[in-house]
Amino acid sequence: MRYKKNKKTVRHYLKVYFLALFVSLVIFGIGSFFKPQFDCANSITCKSDLTVSVDNNAIGMFQGNKITPPKVDLDQAILQSQVLGVRISSEAKHIYVDLSTQTLYTYEGRNQIMKVLISSGKWGRTPVGNFNIWQKLPVTKMSGGSGADYYYLPNIQWVMYFHNDFGFHTAYWHNNFGHEMSHGCVNMRLIDAKELYAWADGPTNNELGTAVSVCNQFKEPGTCVQDNPIN
């Protein structure tokens, strides 16, 4: 039996080329569609409860453990939160989070103001990118997860959101700072969160809130390494 040798034309190769290109674009497109999104840190309160909230009779829940939240005097908290951001110099304020060392830095220009240990996302990733504080709340509640991962945490103080409901706030339910422990927010000790809250600015009519950079690695201003930032 003789096979007829098939002579390939340029047109044939062009067809194969465009077919291959089409297949790769389809796969990349589908893969990108299923890319994890950074819409919410707290799946239950994310959309509905970004407001001031105090419940001094509630019992919290985290990692299957009941938590007794600290009592919060709402009037006092609001009074303290109305103080304008403390300023050391006239230079621009900037908050940097180094995920590799779990450390938060604050700067005015090139002058370092704070350096403290934090806990970033473990059960949900903290978004890497450049943001501005868009809301400050002296106290609120956060809830999310499901099953064994369900959590309900009222009376969280000194909250500052920088991307949707991803924000800086006190974590009274653990003391494991320097290690990942959150669902995407940046957990801080009460004393550190309160100091940060007093220093940082929320948005005003004319200006954005204090700049925030979440970095994979950071040494000093201008050296924020960001792998796959979301913006």
Partner 1 sequence: MTTLRQIELESIFLISIVAASSLFFVIQRNNNYQPQLSIASAIPAMSAPSEVITSKVTISSQISPDGTKKAIMKVTQNPDDTSTYDFAVADENSANEKPIFTRTLDLSKNMTIPFNTWSPDNKYFFIRENAGDNKSVFAFKASGIAFSDTEQYFDVTDLFSQKNTGNNFEEATGWASESLIIINTTKENGTKGASYWFEVPSKAVIQLSTEF
| Interacting residue with partner 1 among 34, 75, 84, 222 (CB under 8 A) | 34
* Residue 70 found at the interface with partner 1 (CB under 8 A): yes
Q: Residue 215: helix, strand or coil by DSSP? A: strand
How near is the Cβ of 101 to partner 1 at its closest, in Å?
6
Nearer to partner 1, 5 or 205 (CB): 5
Cα angle 31, 36, 39 (rounded to 5 degrees) comes to: 140
Nearer to partner 1, 51 or 76 (CB): 76
CA–CA distance, 131 with 41 (Å, rounded to integer): 15
Task: Label residue 194 exposed, middle or buried (CB < 10 Å: 0-12, 13-18, 19+).
Answer: middle
Asked if 155 and 189 count as a contact pair (C-beta separation under 8 A), the reply is no
CA–CA distance, 141 with 109 (Å, rounded to integer): 33
Q: What is the DSSP string of 56-94?
A: TT--EEETTEEE-PPP--HHHHHHHHTSPPP-SSSSPEE
Asked if 46 and 165 count as a contact pair (C-beta separation under 8 A), the reply is yes
Asked if 95 and 88 count as a contact pair (C-beta separation under 8 A), the reply is no
Asked if 86 and 210 count as a contact pair (C-beta separation under 8 A), the reply is no
Site string for partner 1, 100-139 (x = CB under 8 A): -xxx-----------x-x---xxxxx--------------
* Residue 175 found at the interface with partner 1 (CB under 8 A): yes
Q: Which stretch binds partner 1 (CB under 8 A): 15-23, 39-47, 50-58, 129-137?
A: 15-23
| Interacting residue with partner 1 among 131, 173, 197, 218 (CB under 8 A) | 173
How near is the Cβ of 114 to partner 1 at its closest, in Å?
11
* Residue 15 found at the interface with partner 1 (CB under 8 A): yes
CA–CA distance, 28 with 226 (Å, rounded to integer): 22
Nearer to partner 1, 152 or 209 (CB): 152
Nearer to partner 1, 104 or 137 (CB): 104
| Interacting residue with partner 1 among 63, 80, 130, 143 (CB under 8 A) | 63
* Residue 75 found at the interface with partner 1 (CB under 8 A): no
How near is the Cβ of 108 to partner 1 at its closest, in Å?
19
Query: φ and ψ at 136, to 5 degrees?
Result: -120, 130
How near is the Cβ of 150 to partner 1 at its closest, in Å?
15
Residues that bind partner 1 (CB under 8 A): 6, 12, 15-16, 19-21, 23-25, 27-28, 31-32, 34-36, 62-63, 65, 67-68, 70, 101-103, 115, 117, 121-125, 172-181, 189-191, 227-228
